[in-house]
Amino acid sequence: MVCDVCHKNNATVHLTEIINNKVVEMHICQICAQVKADELNKHLNISGFLGGLADMVGGLPQERRVLKCPTCGFSYGDFKKKGRLGCGKCYETFRGLLLPLLKKIHSATTHTGKTPTSLDKKVTSQLKVAELHQRLRRTIQLEEYEEAAKLRDRIKELEKKEKKLNSKKNV
């Protein structure tokens, strides 16, 4: 298939765009794909987007504006400009400012993704139980008692399985 843009090279990239509620498929070569990517980067500024979200979360008191990471010297203003943090310690330093932003972006402030397969089943189970305990506390605070009962039952079930695993290992 020949590139839809230059009509010279073989198309190796296949794009689907929605323009004015119409689906447009493009088959383009690697060179034209790079040009298209550069165009997109000009129009989409992720750093500016994150900085804008940080502004939307709320104004900062003066002492928070001058807060700097003790490890790398990065300030919250630097994060707003660049859209990224300076080091791992920045997450701890700016925790109070990042949590509302993370909540706005991800609708949560705790990681709920996959865990490494190399992680021991016991450790994975313990992490799951700890997460469920945290959710149980939240649902009780929100007075969602039916959901809390389901979580309580799930915790008991997992703890029972964990005890069985432990007793099998000890035999």
Residue 71 has pLDDT above 60, yes or no: yes
Residue 155 lies in a domain: yes
For the chain, what percent of residues have pLDDT higher than 70? 73
Q: Is 39 exposed, middle or buried (0-12, 13-18, 19+ CB in 10 A)?
A: exposed
User: Domain check: are 52 and 28 in the same one?
Assistant: no
Average pLDDT over residues 113-135: 75
Q: Contact 16/42 with Cβ under 8 angstroms?
A: no
User: Is a pLDDT exceeding 80 seen at residue 88?
Assistant: yes
User: Can you give the residue range of the structural domain that contains 94?
Assistant: 46-106
Q: Assess whether 76 and 100 both reside in one domain.
A: yes
Q: Is 114 part of a structural domain of the chain?
A: no
Provide the CB-side half-sphere exposure for 136 (13 A, CA).
14
Closest CA to 147 of 160, 157, 136: 136
Identify whether residues 24 and 68 lie together within a single domain. no
Q: Has residue 135 been placed in a domain? A: yes
Q: Determine which of 1-10, 106-115, 142-151 has the lowest per-residue pLDDT on average.
A: 106-115
* pLDDT at position 57: 46
Structure tokens at 63: 């002492």
Mean per-residue pLDDT over the chain, rounded: 77
User: In this predicted structure, what is the pLDDT of residue 146?
Assistant: 92
Residues 61 and 93 reside in one and the same domain: yes
Given this model, what pLDDT does residue 152 score?
Answer: 94
pLDDT above 70 (res 73): yes
Q: What is the pLDDT of residues 18-55, one digit of tens each?
A: 777 788 888 888 888 888 777 766 655 555 555 554 55
Query: Is 144 in contact with 128 (CB distance < 8 Å)?
Result: no
* Predicted pLDDT at 150: 93
| 36, 50: one domain | no
* Greater model confidence, 146 or 103: 146
- 52/81 same-domain check: yes
Total count of domains within the chain: 3
Together in a domain, 99 and 137: no
pLDDT at 111 over 60: yes
Band of pLDDT at residue 60, cut at 50, 70 and 90: very low
**65 with 77: CB under 8 angstroms?**
yes
DSSP sequence for the chain: -B-TTTSSSBP-EEEEEEETTEEEEEEE-HHHHHHHHHHHHHH--HHHHHHHHHHHH----HHHHT-B-TTT--BHHHHHHHSS-SSHHHHHHTHHHHHHHHHHHHS-SS--S---TTS-HHHHHHHHHHHHHHHHHHHHHTT-HHHHHHHHHHHHHHHHHHHHHHHHHH-
pLDDT above 90: residue 163 = no
At 45 the pLDDT is 53
| Same-domain status, 72 and 29 | no
How far is residue 156 CA from its own chain's centroid?
Answer: 29
